[in-house]
Amino acid sequence: MPSSLYKYPKQVCSSPSTPKTLEQDMAVYSINFLLLLLPLALSPLCLAFPHGAPFLYPQFYDHSCPKAHQIVQSIVAKAVAKEARMAASLLRLHFHDCFVKGCDASILLDSSQGIVSEKGSIPNRNSIRGFEVIDEIKSALEKECPRTVSCADILALAARDSTVLAGGPFWEVPLGRRDSLGASIQGSNRNIPAPNNTLPTIITKFKLQGLDIVDLVTLLGSHTIGFSRCTSFRQRLYNQTGNGLPDFTLDGGYAARLRAGCPRSGGDQNLFPTDFVSPARFDNFYFKNLLVGKGLLSSDEILFTGSPETRRLVELYAADAGAFFAQFVKSIVKMGNITPLTGSKGEIRYNCRKIN
């Protein structure tokens, strides 16, 4: 998309107000004449997209809610200061939203008549978190500019702010997503990869979302922050392939330490960092750990052991944090562009947990 398109404010679609007296009319005639040319120059966009552009752009709220970015950032910063892990939880929310019906805030809906919440799906149950922070952001935004900022855009902005607060790269977030009128627990179960999926299965699940192998390896670098429950990787510690042996790609000493906190049975909810070196820091230690058999999830280590193509990327990012960051901003914008609702589709929810 040409970046010049970003500059077109939505407001140019409405006509400028007319002065009331002839005197005023004369005084502003020449400037009005120039102002008339502006909408004319921009009108192709308005004519082509009378209900708003069918694509996302970073300046979407510049006129309708200029403080939106600042409000999201300050509430995310407060939440992360209180609990560092919240940065990881908010980043993951955006991912689990986008992989189900697109980035449309479907994950935020609670169950009600006609809606079975995605919060109860296998990947989300007892695991996904951060909803209270999103609620706090939404109510602050409803006070500042009612019915304007979508819950789906809040998720995208909160994911970016979380990444930056954890020491990761900044990117401009394309905006203008609208909120879904439903949820899909089947989609949540089907589309979000499981930690014991094979590499070909994981690659296929990303491909179905329009994401390639570079996007996969890069986005999985998000596991440089946050935590996993014992239940998500226990299989690797005791009986990876059904022969009663641990995953041979897992470092022995690291496996022994993990078994101490993740017994054969019980302790399902015990938490372990997905990057044991720097769990609150968005850096490239996740990739460095994979090189030495210290990836936590099977789906993490498999990036290094599963194919030459993914291995080369792991090696590149382990050696060059700058290369990881530069690709991360591209891949996460791509993920954020998965089939958004735009124009007059969907709605702007008042409350992220329910449809209006």
Ligand X SMILES: *[C@@H]1O[C@H](CO)[C@@H](O)[C@H](O)[C@H]1NC(C)=O
Active-site residues: which are they?
96
Q: Is 102 annotated as a binding residue?
A: yes
Count CB atoms within 10 A of the CB of residue 270: 16
3-state secondary structure of 160: helix
CB of 262 to ligand X, least distance (A): 13
| Unique residue bearing structure tokens 């914008």 | 333
Q: Is 106 annotated as a binding residue?
A: yes
Q: Is 347 annotated as a binding residue?
A: no
Closest CA to 286 of 271, 298, 272, 301: 301
CB nearer to ligand HEM: give 91 or 141: 91
CB nearer to ligand X: give 156 or 230: 230
The burial of 214, by beta-carbon neighbours within 10 Å (0-12 exposed, 13-18 middle, 19 or more buried), is given as middle
Residue 202 touches which member of ligand HEM, ligand X, none, C-beta under 5-8 Å by kind: ligand HEM
Angle at 304 (CA atoms; ends 298, 306), nearest 5 degrees: 70
CB of 267 to ligand X, least distance (A): 15
| The amino acid at 190 | R
Two structure tokens written together for 310: 């993914």
Q: Is 97 annotated as a binding residue?
A: yes
CB nearer to ligand HEM: give 115 or 258: 258
Q: Are 334 and 232 a contacting pair, CB within 8 Å?
A: no
CB nearer to ligand HEM: give 75 or 133: 133
**CA 309 to CA 5: how far, in whole Å?**
36
**CA 315 to CA 288: how far, in whole Å?**
8
Residue 223 touches which member of ligand HEM, ligand X, none, C-beta under 5-8 Å by kind: ligand HEM
**CA 128 to CA 7: how far, in whole Å?**
36
CB of 242 to ligand X, least distance (A): 4
List of residues 6+ apart from 133 with CB closer than 8 A: 75, 76, 79, 86, 90, 158
Residue 298 touches which member of ligand HEM, ligand X, none, C-beta under 5-8 Å by kind: none
CB nearer to ligand HEM: give 178 or 223: 223
CB of 208 to ligand HEM, least distance (A): 13
Return the residues of window 220-259 that contact ligand X according to CB under 6 A. 235, 239, 242, 244
Closest CA to 332 of 103, 74, 89: 103
**CA 56 to CA 176: how far, in whole Å?**
5
Two structure tokens written together for 35: 């102002």
CB nearer to ligand X: give 61 or 272: 272
Measured from each CB, the residue nearest to ligand HEM is 226
One residue of 74, 139, 189, 196 binding ligand X per CB under 6 A: 196
Closest CA to 279 of 125, 97, 95, 86: 86
Q: Is 153 annotated as a binding residue?
A: no
**Applying CB under 6 A, what is the total number of residues that bind ligand X?**
6
- Which residues bind to ligand HEM, rule: CB under 6 A? 85, 88-89, 91-92, 95, 127, 129, 193-195, 202, 219-220, 222-223, 225-229, 232, 297, 299
| Unique residue bearing structure tokens 């990117």 | 171
Q: Is 168 annotated as a binding residue?
A: no
| Unique residue bearing structure tokens 């991360």 | 328
Q: Which residues are annotated as a binding site?
A: 97, 100, 102, 104, 106, 118, 193, 223-224, 275, 283
Binding residues for Ca(2+): 97, 100, 102, 104, 106, 118, 224, 275, 283
Instruction: State the binding site for heme b.
Output: 223
Bind-site residues for substrate:
193
Binding site for ligand X (CB under 6 A): 194, 196, 235, 239, 242, 244
